[in-house]
Amino acid sequence: DAGVIQSPRHEVTEMGQEVTLRCKPISGHDYLFWYRQTMMRGLELLIYFNNNVPIDDSGMPEDRFSAKMPNASFSTLKIQPSEPRDSAVYFCASSKGFAYNSPLHFGNGTRLTVT
């Protein structure tokens, strides 16, 4: 079990550029979550998918953010255009169901810096 794989680990970009973050969930997991972590706001749920279908995107901060899950093994989070306030660590997590014994498995995150 390779765990949740995120790429890139670090991304530095200039304001106005498009940024795409990638995630490969654990095989067999049917829930996928995108979180953002900052010192000021802590862990924020941006969006989550169930069986590749977006269920709740109420945490997506603006229309500049979009997420897709074209298949069970791949998801992307896109920011276009990026702004300095988007700088954060973005985590992808997956789980098998949402029962009490189905924890979230997080990737190691993508540290995004927008200058």
Partner 1 sequence: QQQVKQSPQSLIVQKGGISIINCAYENTAFDYFPWYQQFPGKGPALLIAIRPDVSEKKEGRFTISFNKSAKQFSLHIMDSQPGDSATYFCAAKREGSNYQLIWGAGTKLIIKP
- Residue at token pair 């953002």: 36
**Tokens in use for 8?**
């890139």
In terms of phi and psi (left: phi > 0; alpha: psi -120 to 50; beta: otherwise), the region of 3 is left
- Asked if 103 is part of the footprint of partner 1 (rule: CB under 8 A), the reply reads yes
- Asked if 7 is part of the footprint of partner 1 (rule: CB under 8 A), the reply reads no
Residue of 106, 6, 88 whose CA lies nearest to 41: 88
- Asked if 106 is part of the footprint of partner 1 (rule: CB under 8 A), the reply reads yes
Q: Min. distance of Cβ 93 from partner 1 in angstroms?
A: 7
Contact residues for partner 1 (CB under 8 A)? 4, 31, 33, 42-43, 45, 48, 50, 55-56, 91, 93, 95, 98, 100, 103-109
